[in-house]
Amino acid sequence: MSDWKKICTLADIPRLGARVVQNAGGDIAVFRTAADEVFALHDKCPHKGGPLSQGIVHGKRVTCPLHGMNIALDSGDAVAPDVGHCDKFAVKVDGGDVYLKI
Amino acid sequence: MSKPKLVMVGNGMAGVRTLEELFKIAPEMYDVTVFGAEPHPNYNRILLSPVLAGEMKVQDIILNDHDWYRENHVNLHLGKKVAKIDRVKRQVIAEDGTVESYDRLLLATGSNPFMLPVPGNHLPGVIGYRDIADTDAMIDAAKRHKHAVVIGGGLLGLEAANGLKLRGMDVTVVHLGPWLLERQLDEVAGKMLQKSLEDRGLNFLLEKQTEALIEGESGRVAAVRFKDGMQIPAELVVMAAGIRPNTALAESSGIYCNRGIVVNDTLQTYDPKIYAVGECVAHRGIAYGLVAPLFEQAKVCANHLANYGIGRYTGSVTSTKLKVTGIDLFSAGDYMGGAGTEEIVLNDPAGGVYKKLVIKENKLVGGVLYGDTADGPWYFQLLKDGKDIHEIRDHLLFGQSTVGDVGHQGQNKAAAMSDEAEVCGCNGVKKGTIVRAIKEKGLFTLDDVKKHTKAASSCGSCAGLCEQILASTLGGAYQATASDKKPMCGCTEHSHEDVRRAIRERELTSIKAVTEFMEWTTPDGCEKCRPALNYYLISTWPHLAADDPQSRFINERAHANIQKDGTYSVVPQILGGVTSVEQLRKIADVAEKYHVPTIKVTGGQRIDLLGVKKDDLPKMWADLGMPSGHAYGKSIRTVKTCVGAEHCRFGTQRSMDMGIKLEKMLFGMWSPHKVKLAVSGCPRNCAESGIKDVGVIGVDSGYEIYVAGNGGIKTEVAQFLVKVESDEAVMEYTGAFLQLYREEGWYLERTCHYVHRVGLEHVKSKVVEDAENRKALYARLLDSLKGVKDPWAERVEGELKREFEMLAVQPA
């Protein structure tokens, strides 16, 4: 059953950056935007499996480091005209700590 | 609060383009209403000729379908002509009584065909050539009648004549001028064009003035009579003698018009609430009838509608291309020449090729190409850039391929390629795919093509070819932008040049300061501009501007090269490619300990350990105890050397020593793109100095320095810069050249592209001829490299190590 699990503090994730959470079902990328919003996606680009956590974060998007596909952080969808979807995970910040629902 | 209302009158290409630009930058700003007199959504008017010729269908040329209007919440009134503007109440009133109020009004009423004021011009069977209805009328006439007369031998007239001929009519083109297309072509090209159209069965009557159109028994037009008394049969007369800006509505509402609705550089009319774009406009006395300038207007107008207050439209240089399949014709700028100009001409009437370039003060100012137009876009770019062509003058006429700027596989003739030919070798994109995307998705820029097809989006070597395909597919709608005016990315209007200048002159030292000062449209840029900005800041303000790791591509953030499976590669520094037993043993031990799956000797004379997990990187670096080889950055890479005078029986200079000195000097240097050097000990050049950013070749009396070579995407032979005598001079000249490139280069521009852009003369004037400037450049390079630390050593422990650590779920 999925449950909220603490993974780190907000300060552990750089602004406009990401951290990777090791997970049996595949690594999860946890992103932090300039406005301190936090999003979590399966760390695997729908295009050719690139690690999204390593991409450049801008606005509410991340650019895959391998071939430059842009993924919307809030939906996991590829930004048009590209097509593709990446699984997302619920994530929340509470008292400076980041919790992931897995 | 309700939004302000924007009403647009006219639903054509210029107007809808303005809306598209507006929605891009301020999607939620207005409630938008559009009136269109035609019953169709916005379509690509310039493709009416292929429709008439039977090469395309009406549904193929729709640019914005009904869904587009719905998705953007545009209140659309089709088939409603606006009769009146009440500027006091700020309302527009349509002929059917529909009333809409506006806060801002955009007039995009286009133009009307000019109907010759001769008796009979109102008869059935006499039409202009402007819209889908006219095209349908012509297609219909071709089914039932035999004789067509087209009045006007301009672009539109010839395209109409060609289409009607293909639909089986006997067509005569009547033209007042002494040769066809006299506004686009000189006499030689005009005559060649006439000959090849005559070969296709078209008839021409030149220098003929129409006197009257004669009514037949049925009441339809039956003949055309000329001033000289000659009369020819015609059941269809197409008036293509020019267009007139459609200003009736504006004039009747008291808006100042003078051969068009008069606008200023922000596309505003004399009524500040009212803007106008497109063919209805007179800007600085010119009304444009080609689509490319209208798109430039649209962009500027959208900016002002969005209250951005930046961008001025200052007029356009136009180029034209005739859309008659099988006839290649291109002209641009001042193609007639005259006093103060020089001409370079190639004339091969039997081979059907004619090229004329007009040059003024070492700059290309115009040209006509007939029969072989492959280089049209390239000439047009040179013309718009105002580039000094004297260095390439001797082979300018023979096209781009002869000056070394060819695309993938040497392929540089886009028009001649088959649809099956591969354009982009990185992403496997064929020409047909690109052409289809341009037509079906309504793409107009190279950026659009990159996004939709992925062509030219990896290594970029086929960008020129894609640009040509775009130009040949779009014809007159293609618009080359001067290179130094191209926006950096979708976040801004500003070019690389503008941004570099602002950072320098305004003393901007952070990304935030740049994006705020230069009014970026996105909150924190994108993956394209942020790395560029970060480089510009740290190279302009060393020790002052802070490096932003989050604005660096992963390779430069992790100081290792990401591989396709998400692992990394480790390349330790091996100065000059000269290693030792101790180094080799360390590398072997580390490779063994971390189970490195692949060990590879690199092209830069180093050893690459591939397949390393990211969290192993700091541990490996600690065990290695060797500095980073910077094999991953837009930075100094390696200095390749041959063994030189130390061992080689031919060696004249100690190339290994010289290479090691250079590599040490440049350690940690960031640059617009990667920088590779080589030092060879003699002219046999075993270190391949001829294809490096800086190549040094030892000769008996000293060293020759070559710059701007490239062995990558585009093989370019380095150009001779200077001959020097001492090792110290090699360091100084090399350092000064690289610093000039660091200060003036655009991000992701290799030295070969940079020198191609600014010219070797410029480089020589700054680095060779001006000793004081050279020393100053060299000093700035050394200053910016002062105190550089090994990035690997910095990340073995402490705060910076965090980048490499994975998180784990913590127990509850």
User: What confidence tens digit (pLDDT) does each residue in B582-593 have?
Assistant: 999 999 999 999
The Cα–Cα gap between B139 and B666 comes to: 70
- State whether B550 and A57 contact (CB < 8 Å): yes
- State whether A16 and B451 contact (CB < 8 Å): no
Residue B106 lies in a domain: yes
Q: Please tell me the predicted confidence (pLDDT) of residue B87.
A: 95
Res. B714: pLDDT tops 80: no
The band of B296, judged by pLDDT with boundaries at 50, 70 and 90, is: confident
Residue B804 with chain A: CB contacts under 8 Å: none
Identify the contact set of chain A against chain B, taking CB-CB distances under 8 A.
5-8, 12, 14-17, 19-23, 27, 30, 34-35, 48-51, 54-59, 61, 63, 65-68, 70, 81, 100, 102
The Cα–Cα gap between B409 and B425 comes to: 9
- State whether A54 and B457 contact (CB < 8 Å): no
pLDDT in tens, A49-87: 999 999 999 999 999 999 999 999 999 999 988 899 999
Residue B711 lies in a domain: yes
From the candidates A10, A21, A58, which should be mutated to test the interface with B, based on the most B CB atoms within 10 A? Answer: A58
Last residue of a domain, one of B192, B226, B241: B241
Q: Are residues B640 and B772 in the same domain?
A: yes
The Cα–Cα gap between A79 and A88 comes to: 15
Q: Are residues B771 and B646 in the same domain?
A: yes
The band of B406, judged by pLDDT with boundaries at 50, 70 and 90, is: very low
Res. B49: pLDDT tops 60: yes
Higher pLDDT, A89 or B460: A89
The band of B658, judged by pLDDT with boundaries at 50, 70 and 90, is: very high
The Cα–Cα gap between B691 and B676 comes to: 9
Question: Is the minimum CB–CB distance between B622 and chain A shorter than 8 Å?
Answer: no
- State whether B527 and A55 contact (CB < 8 Å): yes
- State whether B524 and A58 contact (CB < 8 Å): yes
Q: Which of A58, A81, A102 sits opposite B452 (nearest CB)?
A: A81
Residue A56 with chain B: CB contacts under 8 Å: 526-527, 530-531, 550-551, 553-554
The one-character DSSP state at B4 is: P
The band of B702, judged by pLDDT with boundaries at 50, 70 and 90, is: very high
Q: Which of A21, A23, A56 sits opposite B527 (nearest CB)?
A: A56
CA nearest neighbour of A89 among A46, A48, A38: A38
Q: Which of B549, B562, B809 sits opposite A54 (nearest CB)?
A: B562
Q: Please tell me the predicted confidence (pLDDT) of residue B310.
A: 74
- State whether B562 and A70 contact (CB < 8 Å): no
- State whether B566 and A8 contact (CB < 8 Å): no
Percent of chain B with pLDDT over 90: 68
Residue B290 lies in a domain: yes
- State whether A7 and B525 contact (CB < 8 Å): no
Query: How buried is B228 (Cβ within 10 angstroms: 0-12 exposed, 13-18 middle, 19+ buried)?
Result: exposed
The Cα–Cα gap between B749 and B756 comes to: 10
CATH number at residue B766: 3.30.413.10
- State whether B550 and A15 contact (CB < 8 Å): yes
Q: Are residues B99 and B220 in the same domain?
A: no
Interface of B with A in 414-443 (CB under 8 A): 441
Question: Is the minimum CB–CB distance between B602 and chain A shorter than 8 Å?
Answer: no
Do the bridges between strand A38-42 and strand A88-89 make them parallel or antiparallel, or are there none, so unpaired? Answer: antiparallel
Res. B432: pLDDT tops 60: yes
Q: Are residues B228 and B259 in the same domain?
A: no
Q: Which of B550, B810, B812 sits opposite A17 (nearest CB)?
A: B550
Question: Is the minimum CB–CB distance between B527 and chain A shorter than 8 Å?
Answer: yes
* Bridge partners of residue B329, in order along the sequence: B370
A94 sits in the region (left: phi over 0; alpha: psi -120 to 50; else beta) called: beta
Residue B492 with chain A: CB contacts under 8 Å: none
> Which residue of chain B comes nearest to A48, CA vs CA?
B564
Residue B524 with chain A: CB contacts under 8 Å: 16, 34, 58-59
Residue A14 with chain B: CB contacts under 8 Å: 549-550
Mapped onto helix, strand or coil, the DSSP state of residue B748 is coil
- H-helix or E-strand containing B356? strand B353-360
Q: At what angle do helices B727-744 and B655-665 cross, to 10 degrees?
A: 40
Percent of chain B with pLDDT over 70: 96
Residue A23 with chain B: CB contacts under 8 Å: 809
Average pLDDT over residues B233-237: 96
Higher pLDDT, A94 or B470: A94
> Which residue of chain B comes nearest to A61, CA vs CA?
B526
Distance of alpha carbon A43 from the chain centroid: 7
> Which residue of chain B comes nearest to A31, CA vs CA?
B550
Determine the distance in angstroms separating the CA of B542 from the nearest CA of chain A, rounded to an integer. 23
Could you tell me the two tokens for B696? 């040094």
Average pLDDT over residues B55-73: 89
Interface of B with A in 538-577 (CB under 8 A): 549-551, 553-554, 558, 562, 564-566
Could you tell me the two tokens for B96? 């059917």
- The tally of domains found in chain B comes to 5
Are B273 and B30 in contact by the 8 Å Cβ rule? The answer is no
From residue B693, alpha-carbon distances to B228, B462, B677, B754 in Å are 70, 21, 6, 11
The Cα–Cα gap between B238 and B152 comes to: 9
- State whether A30 and B551 contact (CB < 8 Å): no
Residue A6 with chain B: CB contacts under 8 Å: 809-810, 812
Average pLDDT over residues B46-51: 86
Last residue of a domain, one of B187, B211, B241: B241
Question: Is the minimum CB–CB distance between B412 and chain A shorter than 8 Å?
Answer: no
pLDDT in tens, B79-121: 999 999 999 999 999 999 999 999 999 999 999 999 999 999 9
Q: Are residues B102 and B9 in the same domain?
A: yes
Q: Are residues B205 and B143 in the same domain?
A: yes
Q: Are residues B701 and B573 in the same domain?
A: no
Res. B410: pLDDT tops 50: no
- State whether B525 and A58 contact (CB < 8 Å): yes
Last residue of a domain, one of B256, B288, B305: B305
Average pLDDT over residues B426-453: 85
Residue B325 lies in a domain: no
Domains parsed from chain A with CATH numbers: 4-91 (2.102.10.10)
Q: Are residues B671 and B778 in the same domain?
A: yes
Q: Please tell me the predicted confidence (pLDDT) of residue B408.
A: 40
Q: What ipTM does the predicted assembly reach?
A: 0.94
Residue B798 lies in a domain: yes
Q: Please tell me the predicted confidence (pLDDT) of residue B106.
A: 97
pLDDT in tens, B240-258: 988 899 999 999 999 999 9
Average pLDDT over residues A33-48: 95
Mapped onto helix, strand or coil, the DSSP state of residue B582 is helix
pLDDT in tens, B614-646: 999 999 999 999 999 999 999 999 999 999 999
Per the structure, the complete domain to which residue B518 belongs is given by: 496-552
Res. B274: pLDDT tops 80: yes
Chains A, B: CB pairs < 8 Å: 87
Question: Is the minimum CB–CB distance between B458 and chain A shorter than 8 Å?
Answer: yes
The sheet that has A91-94: what strands, in order across it?
A4-9, A97-101, A91-94
Residue B73 lies in a domain: yes
Residue B527 with chain A: CB contacts under 8 Å: 55-56, 58, 63, 68, 70
> Which residue of chain A comes nearest to B809, CA vs CA?
A7
Residue B263 lies in a domain: yes
Residue B285 lies in a domain: yes
Vertex B333 angle, CA B331 and B336, to 5°: 80
Res. B326: pLDDT tops 80: no
Q: Please tell me the predicted confidence (pLDDT) of residue B288.
A: 87
CATH number at residue B63: 3.50.50.60
Are B719 and B754 in contact by the 8 Å Cβ rule? The answer is no
Q: Are residues B270 and B193 in the same domain?
A: no
Q: Are residues B770 and B675 in the same domain?
A: yes
Q: At what angle do helices B187-199 and B155-166 cross, to 10 degrees?
A: 10
CA nearest neighbour of B14 among B299, B234, B226, B214: B299
Q: How many CB atoms lie within 10 A of CB B218?
A: 10
Average of per-residue pLDDT values in chain B: 90
Q: Are residues B774 and B645 in the same domain?
A: yes
From the candidates A19, A52, A54, A60, which should be mutated to test the interface with B, based on the most B CB atoms within 10 A? Answer: A54
pLDDT in tens, B115-174: 999 999 999 999 999 999 999 999 999 999 999 999 999 888 999 999 999 999 999 999
Residue A21 with chain B: CB contacts under 8 Å: 806-809
Q: Please tell me the predicted confidence (pLDDT) of residue B535.
A: 98
Which value, in Å, is the radius of gyration of the alpha carbons in chain B?
A: 32
Q: Are residues B251 and B229 in the same domain?
A: no
